[in-house]
Structure 1
């Protein structure tokens, strides 16, 4: 039975769905948004009732043209409200991008994507190119490679 009070005013929390992709050399794919200082992981907010792994895949495709369907969760990062609503950011493992796939990365025009571009970045460069919070998030996700949690949807592994 649904309690109408639970649906009357849902909590104001954004769900950020991010994806960690690496090239064979271990560099991480980052995007350069025009609305923030520094580089970030590809991804964005989930739509209402959108499964987070599908939101991450949707944003990745829109931002880079790459197709992935992540099912492993690497990190969960809660960010309290500041100039944005509070948010919960989920970082998914997107795996390794082959050299052939990397050559096909296409960032849409800035007026549509709000991105200056995308590039693979060596982890030693993160501190100089990312905010401290973004840097820590990506380093933690990298540290969790091989120890990822499976994503469940209604108790079943997401496919």
Structure 2
């Protein structure tokens, strides 16, 4: 039997402010990692972006991946979870989803920069990640590549 839902108005009166980053780790058949090059950062990052209010994180990640690269993926597992305490930005929680492997001939389609804020996207060999990414970003990807996964659940069930 499920416990009754909690209806304490104090829990919703002032929810904590935490940005949720929904990122996707996609590799090609050689094992290279897909990175995007945003015009607002120095260095490359995994495709993805913030979730919207009440948007399941795996759907936010899939939405951003498709918008940034043209790749459609069904995301079912998280490969890394990265918490960043508040500094000059709000506290952040980044979820890295396993986007699987795409065939080498699969096109990566980046929208024009004025719409996407991306200079481009490309697959980068794993050994070259530190040359293209900020140290914290490269460390996040390295952890995501370790092969550990957690299933995505929504209300205790695997979403469709």
Specify the TM-score bucket, using the shorter chain as the normaliser: over 0.9
Cα shift at 1:8: 1.7
Structure 1, unmatched stretches of 5+, are none
1:118 and 2:110 are equivalent in the alignment? no
Query: Aligned residue for 1:22?
Result: 27
- Cα offset for 1:73? 0.8
Q: Distance in 2 between matches of 1:13 and 1:82?
A: 12
- How far did residue 141 of structure 1 move? 0.2
Tell me the matched-pair count. 155
User: Which of 39, 44, 48 is matched with 1:39 structurally?
Assistant: 44
Partner Cα distance (2:124, 2:116) in 1: 20
Q: Distance in 1 between matches of 2:33 and 2:71?
A: 14
User: Which TM-score applies when normalising by structure 2?
Assistant: 0.93
Match of 2:136 in 1: 133
Counterpart Cα distance in 1 of 2:121 and 2:88: 25
> 2: CA distance between counterparts of 1:37 and 1:124?
19
The answer to whether 1:151 aligns with 2:131 is: no
What TM-score does the superposition give when structure 1 sets the normalisation length? 0.94
1:33-69 deviation digits (Å, cap 9, x = unpaired): 1111101000000001110000000000110111012
Runs of 4+ in 1 over 6 A off after TM superposition: none
Secondary structure, in 3 states, of the residue corresponding to 1:126? Answer: helix
RMSD: 1.0
Q: Which protein shows a greater Rg? A: 2
Which residue pairs with 2:3 in the alignment?
none
Which structure has the highest helix share of the two? 1
Q: Distance in 1 between matches of 2:12 and 2:58?
A: 23
CA distance in 2 between partners of 1:99 and 1:134 (Å):
24
Q: Does 1:84 align with 2:89?
A: yes
